[in-house]
């Protein structure tokens, strides 16, 4: 009798294995094949709250949470020119539960921090591109108290020693690159004062501790409207639709200093292609939502989108370009 029961048990087990084989599963794999996501997702921002990257991350988190049915949290891991948060994501499991929302600073800082142990993340090697989110123009702004109303005024003030420093959101940022290119074009030397992100820099700018800044429009737009800050030029090939009366640097007589900014969603290296595709599809649909477009416009961010391959190519191109600029100007970590 015991032999009969044992034989029946073996036959049942064999039948179970056969069913698993037919369905493409193995015993115990059902839990692993649950649809993503099954727990909260974290979007890491390597900069302080309130800046463009943080604002965009919170907009994206809200929409992803509604679509995916799981909490999507924003985690501000600041410091070391953004490398603390970026390194955290690069070392995370590539399972889609830890993502990075980053500006194109990630294509610059590895060159600036070259040789600094543990501080470098190569975005072409250590991260997975999911999608570009938006693009931004950079502006040159000055305080109204400086009495500077044009780029010609700025250059004259700099050469006369009246303006000697500018506020920067960080060493190796696109704004830092712009400053170096402008100095070369104008024959000036305005010294960078780096801050830990745009918002602390803007606070000192508006407070009168700094005379000028290279910046995206979002953090300074309210202060331009109030009259505390004056936009002098846009560092783009054409004027910005957000401030159409502000000339480009080239129109102001200073060529070769066009630098833009972008924001992107990325993840750790090795994310499964099907997961990257899923997240990318959600992002493309979110970027078309009227309320998302309107919210992005408040920080002068133009939705772009695009597939992972296009994002990867953009990262590679900027990584090479900025690497050459960093080397040319000898930009190093403070």
pLDDT of residue 172: 83
CA dihedral (200, 205, 206, 208) positive or negative: positive
Please say if the pLDDT value at position 11 is more than 80: no
User: For 233, left (φ over 0), alpha (ψ -120 to 50), or beta?
Assistant: beta
Least confident among 84-88, 117-121, 122-126, 329-333: 117-121
- What integer best gives the mean pLDDT of the chain? 89
Name the DSSP class of 228.
S
Rounded Cα–Cα distance for residues 99 and 41 (Å): 8
- Average pLDDT (64-75) is 98
What is the rounded CA–CA span in Å between residue 194 and residue 167? 6
Mean pLDDT of the region 100-122: 85
pLDDT, residue 334, reads 66
Does 37 sit behind a cis peptide bond, omega within 30 degrees of 0 on the bond before it?
A: yes
This prediction's pTM = 0.84
Q: Is 68 a residue whose pLDDT tops 70?
A: yes
Given a cut of 50, whether residue 9 has pLDDT beyond it is no
Per-residue model confidence (pLDDT) at position 332: 81
Dihedral sign for Cα atoms in the order 285, 291, 296, 302:
positive
- Sequence ranges of the domains in the chain: 41-135+260-329, 137-234
Q: How confident is the model at residue 197 (pLDDT cuts 50, 70, 90)?
A: confident
> pLDDT tens across 21-36, in order?
333 333 333 444 678 9
**Residue 144 has what DSSP assignment?**
G
Q: Classify domain 137-234 at the CATH topology level.
A: D-Maltodextrin-Binding Protein; domain 2 (3.40.190)
* 226 Cβ contact list (under 8 Å, min separation 6): none
Pairing of strands 191-194, 165-168: parallel
| Pairwise CA distance, residues 282 & 213, whole Å | 35
What average pLDDT does range 95-99 have in this prediction?
A: 98
Cis peptide before 64 (omega within 30 of 0): no
Per residue in 251-277, pLDDT tens?
A: 999 999 999 999 999 999 999 999 999
Q: Which two tokens stand for residue 206?
A: 């508006």
Identify the helix (H) or strand (E) that includes residue 216.
strand 212-216
3-state class of 263 per DSSP?
A: strand
SS3 at position 258: coil
Give the burial string for 136-146 (b: 16+ CB within 10 Å, else e): bbbbbbbbeeb
SS3 call for 91: coil
Report whether 172 contacts 109 (CB < 8 A).
yes
Query: Mapping DSSP to helix (H, G, I), strand (E, B) and coil, where does residue 27 land?
Result: coil
Question: Which one is predicted more confidently, 7 or 278?
Answer: 278
Give residue 23's pLDDT: 33
Q: What percentage of the chain has pLDDT greater than the value 70?
A: 88
Please write the tens of the pLDDT for every residue from 52-64. 999 999 999 999 9
Domains 41-135+260-329 and 137-234 share a fold: yes
Q: Does the pLDDT at position 241 exceed 70?
A: yes
* Confidence band for 181, pLDDT divided at 50, 70 and 90: very high
pLDDT tens string 229-240: 999 999 999 999
Architecture of domain 41-135+260-329: 3-Layer(aba) Sandwich (3.40)
Q: What is the pLDDT of residue 3?
A: 39
| Structure token pair of residue 23 | 């369905």
Query: pLDDT higher for 217 or 113?
Result: 217
């Amino acid at each position: 009798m015991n032999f009969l029961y044992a034989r029946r048990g073996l036959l049942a087990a064999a039948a179970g294995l056969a069913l698993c084989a037919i369905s493409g599963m193995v015993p115990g794999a059902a839990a692993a094949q649950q649809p993503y996501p099954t727990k909260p997702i974290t979007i890491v921002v390597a900069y302080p709250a309130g800046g463009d990257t943080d604002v965009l991350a919170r907009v994206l988190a809200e929409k992803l949470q509604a679509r995916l049915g799981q909490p999507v949290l924003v985690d501000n891991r600041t410091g070391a020119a953004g490398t603390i948060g970026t390194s955290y994501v690069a070392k995370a499991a590539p399972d889609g539960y830890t993502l990075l929302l980053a500006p194109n600073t990630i294509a610059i800082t590895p060159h600036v921090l070259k040789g600094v142990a543990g501080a470098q993340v190569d975005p072409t090697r250590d991260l997975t591109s999911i999608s570009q989110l938006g693009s931004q123009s950079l502006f040159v702004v000055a305080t109204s108290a400086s009495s500077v109303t044009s780029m010609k005024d700025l250059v004259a003030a700099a050469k006369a020693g009246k303006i000697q420093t500018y506020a920067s959101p960080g060493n190796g940022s696109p704004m830092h690159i712009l400053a170096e290119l402008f100095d070369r074009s104008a024959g000036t030397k305005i010294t960078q004062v780096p801050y830990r992100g745009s918002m602390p820099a803007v606070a000192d700018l508006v407070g009168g501790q700094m005379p000028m800044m290279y910046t995206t429009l979002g953090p300074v737009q309210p202060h331009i409207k109030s009259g505390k800050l004056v936009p002098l030029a846009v560092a783009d090939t054409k004027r910005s639709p957000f401030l159409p009366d502000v000339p480009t640097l080239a129109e102001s007589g200073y060529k070769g200093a066009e630098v833009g900014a972008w924001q992107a969603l990325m993840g750790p290296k090795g994310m499964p292609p099907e997961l990257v595709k899923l997240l990318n599809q959600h992002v493309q649909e979110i970027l078309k939502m009227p309320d998302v477009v309107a919210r992005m416009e408040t920080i002068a961010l133009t939705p772009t989108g695009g597939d992972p391959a296009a994002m990867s190519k953009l990262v590679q191109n900027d990584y090479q370009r900025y690497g050459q600029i960093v080397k040319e100007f000898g930009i190093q970590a403070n």
